[in-house]
Structure 1
Amino acid sequence: MEITLRQIRAFLAIVQLRSFTRAAAMLHLSQPALTVQIRNLEAALGVRLLDRDNRAVEVTRVGLELVPVLQRTIGDLDAALVDLREIGAGRRGTVRVAALPSFAASLLPDVIVTCRRANPALAFVVRDAIASQVVAMVRSEDVDLGITGGVVADAELDVLHETTDQLCLVFQEAHPIGRKRRIGLRDLVDLPLVLTNPGTSVRDVIDAALMTIGRTPTVACEVTYMMSAVAMVRAGLGVTVLPRSARETRVERGIRARAIDDPAFARPVVLVKKKGRTLPPASLAFRDACIAAMRRALRS
């Protein structure tokens, strides 16, 4: 015979109140039903827990030894149920997201702060990585959500939202390119470029755009991080191309950023999840906040 939580709660209520009548009223049970619960518990344990006569109820020695054990069990279970309800309501839990570095540094901080203001018990794990790594982490379920660049045509992923990120030419304030009224694709052909590594979403856009006119970039330097690219530009090594979302274009004095007037220099950005997998409630709220922030960024 199995021991049930109803039986344990019934026993503890009787121990507390020293009365079947009062315990039955507290548990909203009839006295015969309460008596059956206790008999079944004693049968399952193979010991007598209560001595009862017409005047009083006394707890046996074995029953007294079991009381603290059962109280801890019920206390731990009640605490776990509270935690589970908080998690189910999206008020507690860990949101795991992978994102392109430009979005991890620009969009995500404000979104995370907004979510934590509403639910301070939320925790976040952010993995900033290049586009292919973001996709791989979502596919392997290392993260729940991913913000990645480029067109995603992966049968294992669901695209939850799609937007675009305009690419800009970043150059020293005194550079002659800044005097042009319009900066187009052909203006990049002979310029020494500081570019992010092949395989990054920004580099893919640049290479594909130049390929349409039969050219390849004149690479002065390849770097991994956008901040490194801006530092190379500041030192006079060349110019670089970065997404509008990149904070690096706005933190360096003497550096300017201008949009490249060519439709090819718009990077698709998508929010993705693993197909067929249910997002945790906390990640659902974060997803909605993220989509709202991506829409606001596009309007601005």
Structure 2
Amino acid sequence: MELRTLRYFYTIAEEENITKAADVLHITQPTLSRQLKHLEDELGTELFRRERQRLVLTEAGTFLKDRAAEILALSQQTSLEFENRKKQLFSGHITIGCVEADNSDTLAMMLEDFVADYPQVTFEIFSGTSDIIMERLDKGLLDVAILLEPVNTTKYKTVTLPRTEKWGLLVSSDSFLARQSEITPQEMIGVPLMMSGRPDVQHLMADWAGVPVNELNVVGNFNLTFNVIPLVAHQVAAALMIEGSISGRQPDDVKFLPLSPTIQTNCVLVWRRERIVSPVVNEFIHYFQNSFQK
């Protein structure tokens, strides 16, 4: 016997009319009539008899109504207690590291839902490169982090986020390259470049260009893009980066050229394998797992 069926029966007993009960329950009258018939068949007895314009409980129906009232009240109270327990249990603080990427929006959406469900939770977001964030994660200064591939995640448990990040070259709008819609390896050879100092990224770009890393004309390294944009605009060098790092803040004096052939990588949510996390951090991780993990 399901709680839903008991609730249907109890509403009919209260309203003394199938049609009125169906309106209260927001279901059709034939559906409710079938549910009542199934319940009577299951119990092997009639629960109502018709008297004029209303349904009257039989002796068995009166007994079941009393029991149903107790069961439904207990069910509601239990749900409320678990809801209150959830709100009390999942309070605390989360520290999150996040790279500059399109997936910053993904983090924002997940946090919006999480703090709506657990309003007592507070959070802190640390922005930086994958290397800096991983260092803080390893020291226990961050609970979880969103990193940009390519990145070595052997020390971490991971959830891959579905939105891909497109790599390209940020050039000055006054550069001869700005007339193009994309950039090929041949066109990039010899161009003064700024890029991440991460070896994983450098090898990714060298493999794409088909040359050793030391043959790329790298004149400078950077971590965050804010200070790079003026250098690109003044044609000091072009900058290899992901498009998501400048989304929504790309000025008119620079232009993003996607790489051709295309390079797209994912972001991953990571946390240390051996570290025991707090209940609130564990629940936050579950939000990502339930949304993105297959």
- Which amino acid in the other structure matches residue 87 of structure 2? E
**2:252 corresponds to:** 253
Q: 2:191, 2:234 → 1: CA distance?
A: 15
1:206 corresponding residue in structure 2: 205
Alignment: residue pair count: 209
What 5-or-longer segments of structure 1 have no aligned partner? 1-81, 296-300
Q: Which residue in 2 is equivalent to 1:149?
A: 148
Question: Counterparts of 1:146 and 1:244 in 2: how far apart (Å)?
Answer: 20
Q: Which runs of 5+ in 2 are unaligned?
A: 1-82
For residues 76-124 of structure 1, what are the alpha-carbon distances to aligned partners after superposition, in whole Å with 9 as ceiling and x for unaligned? xxxxxx9975353x3x221222222346855434443343334332211
Once the two structures are TM-superposed, the CA of residue 243 in structure 1 deviates from its matched residue by: 0.8
Question: Secondary structure at 1:183's aligned position in 2?
Answer: coil
Q: Is 1:232 matched up with 2:231?
A: yes
Distance in 2, matches of 1:131 and 1:146, equals 9
In the other structure, the counterpart of 2:261 is: 262
The match for 1:286 is 284
How far residue 167 of structure 1 moved from its aligned partner, in angstroms, is: 0.6
Contact 1:139 1:274 (C-alpha < 8 Å) held by counterparts = yes
Q: In the alignment, what sits opposite 1:57?
A: none
CA distance in 2 between counterparts of 1:126 and 1:167 reads 24
CA distance in 1, matches of 2:234, 2:289: 37
Sort the Cα spacing of 1:282 and 1:240 in 2 relative to 1 into closer, same or farther, 3 A: same
Give the TM-score, by structure 1 length.
0.57
TM-score, normalised to structure 2, is 0.58
Q: Identity of counterpart residues, as a percentage?
A: 11
Decide which moves more: 284-293 or 138-147.
284-293
CA distance, structure 1, for counterparts of residue 195 and residue 154 of structure 2: 31
Tell me the SS of whatever aligns to 1:171: strand
> 8 Å contact 1:193–1:219 — kept in the other structure?
yes
Q: 1:214–1:205: structure 2 CA closer, same or farther, 3 Å change rule? A: closer
Superposed, 1:185-224 pairs within 5 Å as 185-196=185-196, 198-199=197-198, 202-210=201-209, 212-214=210-212, 216-224=215-223
Q: Find runs of 4+ consecutive structure 1 residues off by over 6 angstroms.
A: 291-295
Task: Give the equivalent residue in structure 2 for 1:135.
Answer: 134
Q: Which amino acid counterpart does residue 287 of structure 1 have in structure 2? A: I
By how many angstroms is 1:169 displaced?
1.6
Q: Is the 8 A contact 1:105 1:246 kept in 2?
A: no
Separation (CA, whole Å) in 2 of partners of 1:204 and 1:127: 26
Is 1:171 equivalent to 2:171 in the alignment? Answer: yes
Partner of 1:64: none
Distance 1:239 1:248 in 2: 17
RMSD: 3.4
Structure 1 match to 2:15: none
Aligned position for 2:120: 121
The whole-number CA distance in structure 1 between the counterparts of 2:268 and 2:181 is 31
Offset, 1:182: 4.0
Equivalent residue letter for 1:282: V
Distance in structure 2 (CA, Å) of the matches to 1:176 and 1:228: 22
